[in-house]
Structure 1
Amino acid sequence: MTDATRTWAIVYNPTKFDDLETVQQHLTEVAADLNWPEPLWITTTEEDPGASMAQEAVDKGAELVCAMGGDGTVRHVAGVLSGTAVVLGLLPAGTGNLLARNLGLPVDDLDQCLTIALSGDDHTMDIGWATFGDSSKKEPFVIAAGIGLDADIMAETDEGLKAKVGRAAYVASGVKALAKRGFEATVTVDGTKRPATHSRMVMVCNSPSIGGGIDLAADGAIDDGEFATVMVSPKGVFGWASVVADMITGHRKGHGRVQEWAGTEVVVEVSEPTPAEVDGDSIDEVTRFEARMNAGSLVVRVAAPEEEHYPTDEIIENQAD
Structure 2
Amino acid sequence: MTEPDERTPRRAAVVVNPIKHTDVDLHSLAAKVCRGEGWEEPLWLETTKDDPGHGMARQAIAEGVDLVIAAGGDGTVRCVAEELAGTNVPLGLLPLGTGNLLARNLDIAVDDPEGALHAALSGTERKIDVVHITVDHAQKAHVFLVMAGLGFDAALMGDTRDDLKDKVGWLAYVDAGIRHLPGKPARTRITIDDGKPFLRRLRSVMGGNCGKIVGGLEIFPGAKIDDGLLEIMTVAPRGRFGWFAVVAELLRRGKSKDPSIEYFQCRSAEIQTYEPQDVEIDGDYLGKGTHLLMRVYPNSLRVRMPYGHKDPAVLVSPEP
Task: State if a TM-score over 0.5 links the two structures.
Answer: yes
Q: So what's the TM-score if we normalise by structure 2?
A: 0.91
Matches within 5 A, 1:233-312: 233-250=236-253, 252-305=255-308
Would the alpha carbon gap of residues 237 and 70 (structure 1) be closer, same or farther in structure 2, given more than 3 Å must change? farther
State the partner residue of 2:9.
Answer: 5
Q: 2:148 aligns with which of 145, 149, 152?
A: 145
* Residues 221, 254 of structure 2: 8 Å contact kept: no
Q: 2:169 aligns with which of 137, 161, 166?
A: 166
Quote how far apart the aligned CAs of 1:194 are.
Answer: 4.0
Q: Residue by residue, what CA displacement relative to the aligned partner does 1:225-255 show, whole Å, maximum 9, x if unpaired?
A: 0101111111135221122123134354533
Quote how far apart the aligned CAs of 1:52 are.
Answer: 1.0
State the AA in 2 paired with 1:105. Answer: I
Q: Which range moves more in the overlay, 296-305 or 22-31?
A: 22-31
1:63 correspondence with 2:66: yes
1:24 correspondence with 2:27: yes
* Residues 218, 253 of structure 1: 8 Å contact kept: no
Distance 2:269 2:55 in 1: 28
Aligned length: 307
Q: Which range moves more in the overlay, 44-53 or 158-167?
A: 158-167
* Residues 249, 261 of structure 2: 8 Å contact kept: no
State the partner residue of 2:186.
Answer: 183
1:14 correspondence with 2:10: no
Higher relative contact order (CA 8 A, sep 6+): 1
State the partner residue of 2:223.
Answer: 220
Q: Residue by residue, what CA displacement relative to the aligned partner does 1:232-285 show, whole Å, maximum 9, x if unpaired?
A: 111135221122123134354533221111111110011211101100111121
Q: Which runs of 5+ in 2 are unaligned?
A: 1-5, 313-320
Give the share of equivalent positions with the same residue, in percent. Answer: 38
State the partner residue of 1:192.
Answer: 195
Structure 2 residue matching 1:178: 3-state secondary structure: coil
State the AA in 2 paired with 1:124. Answer: K
CA RMSD across the alignment: 2.0
* Residues 55, 80 of structure 1: 8 Å contact kept: yes
Q: So what's the TM-score if we normalise by structure 1?
A: 0.90
Distance 2:199 2:254 in 1: 25
Quote how far apart the aligned CAs of 1:212 are.
Answer: 4.6
Matches within 5 A, 1:193-208: 193-208=196-211
Q: Residue by residue, what CA displacement relative to the aligned partner does 1:186-214 show, whole Å, maximum 9, x if unpaired?
A: 11111113421111110011111243543
Distance 1:165 1:113 in 2: 23
Distance 1:57 1:104 in 2: 25
Distance 1:35 1:187 in 2: 51
Distance 1:250 1:228 in 2: 13
State the partner residue of 1:53.
Answer: 56
Q: Which runs of 5+ in 1 are unaligned?
A: 311-321
* Residues 71, 96 of structure 1: 8 Å contact kept: yes
